Chain A
Amino acid sequence: MRRRTLLGGTVLVAAALGAGFAVGLSRTDAPANPKGLLPLPLGEMRFSLSDHEGRNVVPQDLVGRATMVFFGFTSCPDICPTTLADITGWLEALGEDANLLHVVFITVDPARDTVEAMAEYVGYFHPTIRGWTGSPEEIARAADGFRASYERVPAENGNYTMNHTAGVFLFDAEGRFKTIVDYHEPREFALPKIRRVMGDDSGV
């Protein structure tokens, strides 16, 4: 938290309290959330969604190429566009090799993120990125398979926002979970991770 050193006392105290609270929260949450588990292999996940072009998609479609999956929602002002911009940057750095990857952005907010909304949104980022949405039940099954979590949080004026797992999941071409690119991970660490996952089975 580089920022803490930059800010004054009030914020330091607030941040310290906040961090303490977050740690306490996750501890009490731990028994209720037995998801210290790793994502299932893609081939073993069971869900069915629609991509941003309206095609029916299942996780088995992703087996055969190394795969990157990120959960988010299009009404997310900060972390989602930032992560998609990061992913776009990584894909640009991979150049032609980006074609050897599946990259999927799965919404955790299917109520607002229709196929059309997803199509418009992903259109602003790298063309390799596919946007998947579907019924709330199928989104829940998808998140379950990835051991990802999300929750709806009320905001001002009857609006709401979503808390959600923010890391980028990496799978090899066999569909086996390999690693997560954490939010804020610098490109010099993220790219080798991605190349390794691609290289493991695709010989890149």
Chain B
Amino acid sequence: MRKNFQAGLIVAILLFAMPVMAVAGSSDVVVDDAWARASIGTSRPGAAYMTVRNAGAEAVTLTAIATPAAGMAEIHRTATDSRGVSSMSPVGDIEIAPGEAAKLEPGGLHAMLMGLRTPLKEGDSFDLTLRFADGETVAVVVPVLGIAARGPGR
């Protein structure tokens, strides 16, 4: 009985975790903690976050992102200057050393989703593709959390 419960629990955890994990072929990129903030309608840009970890032995370079959810998607960085003024700008390529991770998280790097095709509704999810310099792509399923969310489980 207890074993069944444990097995069930493991399956449940796997099922829960699977949509936010994606493993690349040769580039050994692992993406976890992917999430996006729900949007109000489609007129405002959306933001998605995730941790892109390079589990391989070679450096990888993230060059682009794309999603059917938005007309245009780019990785932007929010930066705050010495006067406390914050701004956002595209970051271009992101090189991730072996064993390191690029963390897209609130207030820093984020996937900026411009021209949303449909509102991002809490509880839904959408596909997002990471493209790397070696031609590899990694597919990520991004769950949509509430507007006031700070991240998965928070």
Write out the residue numbers on chain B whose beta carbons fall within 8 Å of the beta carbon of A7: 94-97, 100, 102
Q: Is B114 an interface residue (CB 8 A)?
A: yes
Q: Does A44 contact B (CB under 8 A)?
A: no
CA distance A26 to B94 in the complex (A): 26
Chain B CB within 8 A of A25 CB:
yes
Which listed residue, A74, A88, A165, A180, touches B85 by the CB 8 Å rule?
A165
Q: Is the Cβ of B150 less than 8 Å from the Cβ of A89?
A: yes
With a CB–CB cut-off of 8 A, which chain B residues contact A154?
Answer: none
Contact of B88 among A25, A35, A161 (CB under 8 A): A161
Contact stretch, chosen from A60-68, A76-84, A95-103, A188-196: A76-84
Chain A residues lying within 8 Å of B114, measured Cβ to Cβ, are 155-157, 159
- The stretch among B3-11, B12-20, B22-30, B75-83 that forms the contact with chain A is B75-83
- Measured in the bound complex, the distance between the Cα atoms of B40 and A89 in whole Å is 21
Question: Among the listed B47, B79, B83, which residue makes an inter-chain contact with A35, where contact means beta carbons less than 8 Å apart?
Answer: B83
- In the complex formed, the residue of B with least CB distance to A166 is B86
Let me know if B124 is at the binding interface, CB within 8 A: no
Cβ-based interface call for A10 (8 A): yes
CB of B87 within 8 A of CB of A153, answer yes
* Chain B proximity mask over A162-204: 1 for CB below 8 Å, otherwise 0: 0111110000000000001011100000000000000000000
Q: Is the CB of B46 within 8 A of A77?
A: yes
- What's the interface size class on A, roughly? 35 or more
* A121 contacts across to B, CB distance below 8 A: 40
Distance (whole angstroms) from the CB of A41 to the closest CB of chain B: 19
* Interfacial chain B residues near A86, Cβ < 8 Å: 150
Closest Cβ neighbor of A125 among chain B residues:
B148
User: Does B152 interact with chain A (Cβ within 8 Å)?
Assistant: no
Contact A6 B102, beta carbon cutoff 8 Å: yes
Residues of the A chain whose Cβ atoms lie less than 8 Å from the Cβ of B150:
82, 85-86, 89
Chain A to chain B: the 8 pairs with minimum beta-carbon distance, closest first:
A8-B95, A77-B47, A166-B86, A82-B106, A10-B95, A163-B87, A8-B97, A124-B147
A: residues with CB less than 8 A from B are 3, 6-11, 14, 18, 22-23, 25-26, 29, 33, 35, 74-75, 77-79, 81-82, 84-86, 88-89, 120-121, 124-125, 149-150, 153, 155-157, 159, 161, 163-167, 180, 182-184
Q: Can you spell out 24 A-B residue pairs with CB atoms less than 8 angstroms apart?
A: A3-B108, A6-B100, A8-B59, A8-B100, A9-B59, A10-B61, A22-B79, A26-B81, A77-B112, A78-B76, A79-B78, A82-B106, A85-B106, A88-B148, A121-B40, A149-B83, A153-B87, A155-B114, A157-B115, A163-B87, A166-B80, A183-B84, A183-B107, A184-B80
A75-B44, A81-B37 known; 17 new pairs, CB 8 Å cut-off, are A10-B95, A11-B91, A25-B81, A26-B82, A78-B88, A78-B112, A79-B107, A81-B106, A85-B106, A85-B148, A86-B150, A124-B146, A124-B147, A149-B85, A182-B84, A183-B80, A184-B80
